Structure 1
Amino acid sequence: MAQSEHFTNSGDSTGTAVASGAVDTVLRRMRALDAVLPERDGIAVFNRVYLAVTEAIGRRLDTGHFPDARAAITLDVLFAERYLSVAEGGRAPACWRPLLQLRRHPGVRPLQFALCGINAHIGHDLALAVVDSCRALDCGPAALEDEFEQVGDVLVALEERIREELMPGPDLLQIADPLTHLLGAWSLERAREASWSAARALWALRGLPDLAEEFAHRLDAAVGLAGRMLLTPMPERADWPRNRP
């Protein structure tokens, strides 16, 4: 794959979004997806999660929570654009393909869909979005660390809520043992830390494009492998309510 397709900004639409600073535009695009996707579609499940995250970040921007609003908006919009380009039918990197391929699988639970999307977006897209933002703002990753951490804090808080809302209830805990074991092996906090390290490495390698591209490919493949495991179908059980999240 050419460097311009994977490691650099993800297209002209990215530059347009950043130029306008359009968090509201990002929200409109997510709401448009929510309106047309079937409720139990895997992308729809993740989209609802990400919409809630973006709304929370928007509220923080409105209240001056981010000291450097321009940096926060740039990172937020470039980050979101990588997901939206996939959800709206653009070319999908390896990390998103498991979710796209299994998005309607009846044996995959909504919580699995949500965490698979978070894995792809945090583990892969966030690292590249930091590099995109550094280029857009003409700065190094260290200048974006505060914004990175604050966005991450919103995501960690939301992950806890997702697990509470989408995990089968106490009456299904025994049935869900394989699910709890599978999902307990993945951590958003560890994914976020790895993403920051990957962003710093990619930035350090910017003068070595071939090596940077290889690193980005390996990152994409590794995150995609984790996503595939997160979507391991659960055995069908007659006593597992089909319509329960």
Structure 2
Amino acid sequence: MAAAAAPPSPASPPARGIADVLARMRALDAALPAGDGVAVFNSVYLTVTEEVARRVERGAFEDARAAGELDVRFGRRYFDAVDAATAGRRPPACWRPLFQLRRHPGVRPLQFALAGINAHIGHDLALAVLDTCRALECEPDALETDFDRVGGVLTGLEERIREQLMPGPDVLEVADPLTHLIGSWSLDKARDGAWVAARALWCVRGLPKVTEEFTERLDAGVGLVGRMLLTPLPG
């Protein structure tokens, strides 16, 4: 199915702090039409980022500066994908299924949410860890504790997200294809994979060709999973 024209994306300078990330997400939330698959993911991501911001303010992270930097670098990768799609350029392969199928009537809201989370966690998170390490001149191990704490936020919100977007009990039966589709993907495994990928990329950072090939294959693999998550289902 050909990609539908993307709605205008609110222009803004690169995010420099969590407040900037939240402001951009809220602008997208206001601009994107209801039912748009990107809007569904954006709403979920906004909820997660608001919770991370609250925890940063409460001092729940070991290194608030590092946690904030990771959050910003992470957000920028999503915004870059949005901006690419809006400008008619090709976003990373991991994001293409969501942008191409964002208005497909056979794709349910929970599928849009999981496809966006898959792209952002499976691909963007690993690269955001590297971006943060370069910015702060530190090793990935220095971020591990706060990486895990952010993961705890995601895990804690995952069940709530599924409940909000899941069809009611009269619709969702054990034989419903959606039941099997969403059961095939795990946030915890995606997050663990992102951490392994980040460490591997850090270890080969002095080998540009290896880094490029690894990154491309990571992007393509996550994109394939996203395509499967967005399989249109009968109404």
TM over 0.5: yes
In structure 2, the partner of 1:5 is none
Which residue of 2 is the match for residue 3 of structure 1?
none
Indicate conservation of the 8 Å contact 1:57/1:154, yes or no: yes
Q: 2 CA distance for matches of 1:137 and 1:169?
A: 46
Partner of 2:163: 164
Structure 2 residue aligned with 1:26: 21
* Aligned position for 2:221: 222
Q: Which whole-Å CA distance do the structure 2 matches of 1:142 and 1:67 have between them?
A: 13
- 5 Å-filtered alignment, 1:1-245, equals 17=15, 20=16, 22-88=17-83, 89=86, 91-174=90-173, 177-236=176-235
Distance 1:158 1:99 in 2: 21
Report the Cα distance in structure 1 between the residues aligned to 2:124 and 2:158, rounded to whole angstroms.
Answer: 17
Please give the alpha-carbon distance, in whole angstroms, between the structure 2 residues aligned to 1:128 and 1:63: 27
Cα displacement (A) at 1:175: 8.2
**In structure 2, how many angstroms separate the alpha carbons of the residues matched to 1:123 and 1:174?**
29
Question: Is the contact made by 1:168 and 1:176 (CA closer than 8 Å) also made in structure 2?
Answer: no
On the 8 A contact 1:183/1:230 being kept in 2, the answer is yes
Whole-angstrom CA distance in 1 between matches of 2:204 and 2:191: 20
Conserved? CA contact 1:123–1:195, under 8 Å: yes
Gaps of 5+ in 1: 1-12, 237-245
Cα deviation 1:33-75 (Å, max 9, x = unaligned): 0001011100000000000001000000111111211100110
How many Å apart are 1:176 and its aligned residue?
6.5
Which amino acid in structure 2 is aligned with residue 34 of structure 1? D
Aligned residues of 2:122 and 2:222 also touching (Cα < 8 A)? yes
**1:206, 1:86 → 2: CA distance?**
23
Select the structure that is richer in helix: 1
TM-score (normalizing by structure 2): 0.90
Deviation of 1:133 after TM superposition, in Å, equals 0.5
Q: Percent identity?
A: 67
Question: TM-score, structure 1 length as denominator?
Answer: 0.87
Measure the CA separation in 1 of the matches of 2:165 and 2:72.
Answer: 27
Q: Tell me, in whole angstroms, the C-alpha distance in 2 between the residues paired with 1:207 and 1:35.
A: 42
- Which consecutive residues of structure 2, in runs of 5 or more, have no partner in the other structure? 1-12
Q: Deviations over 1:70-94 (max 9, x none)?
A: 1001100000110012123365100
Amino acid corresponding to residue 156 of structure 1 in structure 2: T
Q: Is the 8 A contact 2:173 2:179 kept in 1?
A: no
Contact 1:124 1:195 in 2 (8 A): yes
